[in-house]
Amino acid sequence: MATDNFNTNRILGQGGQGTVYKGMLTDGRIAAVKKSKLVDESNIEQFINEVVILTQINHRNVVKLFGCCLETEVPLLVYEFIPNGTLYQYIHETEEFSITWEMRLRIAIEVSSALSYLHSTTSIPIYHRDIKSANILLDDKFRAKVSDFGASRSVTIDQTHLITRVLGTFGYLDPEYFGSNQFTEKSDVYSFGVVLVELLTGQKPIRSTDAEEDKSLAGYFLLAMKENRLFDFLGKPKEEEIITVAMLAKRCLNLNGRKRPTMKEVAFELGGIRAQKCEDIDLVGGNFETGSSSTGRILNAVLFL
């Protein structure tokens, strides 16, 4: 396996567990190689946990693990190479190419399908525990691949929650989990709801504002929905699709976890929205064009001016 001795020019990304490099396998395939940041027991345990979790998963929207090496001085995990970076980059950082509403909806469907699979289709349910746009990779056709299973946990069928120290990323953390240390499948649903709002608005999960109460994108979105500021602007015909996704995001972000939908229900509803899609609507005359990248700008204007 070649990574040019882990040359900094080959770095694809860096996270809490380590650094990911672009490499080449002996058979010529390009791969992503995660190298542990620190050689300590907790990091090695996370690496082993990720191997155990990923060997149980076979889903087209979950990144594939090619192999691992835990006997070297620094543990290595080898994944399929996903060329187009993260969803976070395309929502918040890349200006040259804006992902269209069609692509955003498809990505939401693909991620929800993967999470539904983890929660209810695998032989042992799996909680991801760190769903965020930075952990959603995009392949050469901009199909979503859920990644980073270092914090993930499998649970028994009759187990309703995990009692664990709080892990995850601020802005995406389920408030119930943060307050109780009890992580449930609905905690993943909450995090996915934040990703939905990112896709809808183009806003970061922690907003740049001086007002402390407005820093959380999820909280500000819920307040805007409560005050009907969304519907004041998006009341035109043929925009029901956007409103439906916004309403679904609102339900995912319910502060009462029991009132949130399951990921299976979320995936079903998003799939239904796509199935009911009519032909693209021209922006001319004030109508919304579903194939444009203006969705975030429209909702952003409604929610955050």
User: What amino acid positions are annotated as catalytic residues?
Assistant: 130
185's tokens: 């499948």
Separation CA 213–CA 93 (nearest Å): 25
Q: Are 79 and 32 in contact (CB under 8 A)?
A: yes
* Torsion region of 9: left, alpha or beta (phi above 0 gives left; psi -120 to 50 gives alpha): alpha
Which helix (H) or strand (E) segment holds residue 176: the answer is helix 175-180
Q: How many residues does the chain have?
A: 305
- Crossing angle of helices 101-120 and 185-201, rounded to 10°: 180
- Of 25, 26, 22, 28, residue with least CA distance to 9: 22
Q: Are 214 and 178 in contact (CB under 8 A)?
A: no
Separation CA 174–CA 255 (nearest Å): 8
Separation CA 305–CA 301 (nearest Å): 6
